[in-house]
A and B are shown apart, each in its own frame.
Chain A
């Protein structure tokens, strides 16, 4: 499965018995027969129409060859195949405003997860909980800084529910201030679910707060990675509280967000387990860690690829049964997707996406929090001056990754993750090869699922 013959502007691959052609510059997807496959491949490799016709006529009836080439011509005319590159303006690649802000409501946590990237931060030198003064300043900064109508705020940590009253206060204040300014907020809480009591559940459901619930799958896998400070596993508590929360919101506006590591290279079984528990909105992500006992290796790629094949089968099986589920990496909208400027800046770390530590320090994203090299200022400073050079450095590094410019997935992968590059290769400009390979594996399967 997954036989690939990729080129920069027309990607051809075989999957699940289908011959698929993805036109990079238009975002169009075509299913072809053997003759059209060979014709497109010849044209893609530089053969002219007449030469292609001559070569193909050795194996296929000439009238059918002409028919297939005419169909290619029509699609070329419609700019759906071999479409031209869209010209880009450099200044639009770096937005001036801020659209998304991640708040470290608390740097403390009641769990001690083995892969948590919050561990990178030297916790001792900073405040544990964000104060109301800093939270209020963050909202003020967010609303007063330039940017569009829609604002996204993520409550993060540590475990943000350790400082639940602040979340409640920030939501009320932000909504009150946004309304007269014509801005709209959406809020997301990322939580281990262990502190979801009746009061928190009622608030989150009443205020329509999106939730990301950390749950890795099977009990033994989850508990191996995610234990309380006393060593006891958190699986039972997480599942019980997550179900309570979701019952109160009609099972909407949530994702179960798991992480897979070397300990569960058979992670499709964890997805199966999550489905059995009744969860149907799932995001299972490969660990980004250099710790040997957890880290994924390039040698694991064929195993991991097979797991994504099993996920495709499961996805179709559930759809057939009338119990479909959402898998984050299989969601792909080719007809309504964002413009190239967004596609090339991905999450927008350091540009339109920023993270605020509990003491008000600003960083390009949640993974860089606490790292002096990426410090962008403090929102409590008077006057507050944001160091935009850090974001520009991240954006420039992403643009200068050599392999990306001629990759078929360049408008679908968001240009990779700056933090993954930095933590896994030590260089913002280097591609994290394993993450990149997994992304392409998932994208081919997401494209295939569009065709069936």
Chain B
């Protein structure tokens, strides 16, 4: 049974905070 659903895998582990162009 799935107890945890990952909605977004963050990426942390020249960009009126954007996205990193690199």
Contact = CB atoms under 8 A, between A and B. Distances in A.
Contact of B10 (A255, A257, A335): A335
A25 interface: yes
A120 interface: no
Interface in B1-22: 1-21
A109 interface: no
Contacts of A338: 15, 17-20
B12 A80 contact: no
Contact of A335 (B2, B3, B11, B18): B11
Contacts of A36: 3-4
A165 B8 CA distance: 47
Interface stretch (A41-49, A68-76, A290-298): A68-76
B8 A29 contact: yes
A334 B3 contact: no
- B interface: dominant SS: loop
Given A335-B10, A335-B11, A414 B17 contact: yes
Interface in A1-51: 20-21, 23, 25-33, 35-36, 39
Interface residues of A, number: 52
A183 to B, nearest CB: 12
A335 B7 contact: no
Interface string A145-182: 00011100000000000000000000000000000000
Interface in A178-192: none
A20 B8 CA distance: 11
B18 to A, nearest CB: 5
Given A336-B19, A338-B19, A342-B18, A86 B10 contact: no
A79 interface: yes
B11 A334 contact: yes
A269 interface: no
A80 B8 CA distance: 9
A283 interface: yes
A242 B11 CA distance: 38
B19 A257 contact: no
A96 interface: no
Contacts of B13: 25-26, 79-80, 83-84, 86
B12 A150 contact: no
A67 interface: yes
A149 B14 contact: yes
B1 A334 contact: no
B5 to A, nearest CB: 5
A450 B4 contact: no
A85 B12 CA distance: 10
Interface string A245-282: 00000000001010000000000000000000000000
B16 A255 contact: yes
B10 A28 contact: yes
A32 B1 CA distance: 12
A258 to B, nearest CB: 10
B6 A80 contact: yes
A369 B8 CA distance: 40
A33 B2 CA distance: 9
B7 A450 contact: yes
B17 to A, nearest CB: 5
Contact of B2 (A71, A81, A257, A328): A71
A328 B16 contact: yes
Pick from B4, B7, B11, B13 the residue with the most CB of A within 10 Å: B4
Given A68-B4, A71-B3, A80 B16 contact: no
8 contacts: A28-B6, A29-B8, A31-B4, A35-B3, A36-B3, A337-B10, A338-B17, A450-B8
Question: Ordered nearest first, which 4 A-B pairs have the shortest CB separation?
Answer: A27-B10, A255-B16, A36-B3, A338-B15
Interface of B: 1-21
Given A27-B8, A31-B7, A71-B2, 6 more contacts: A28-B6, A28-B9, A80-B10, A328-B16, A335-B8, A335-B9
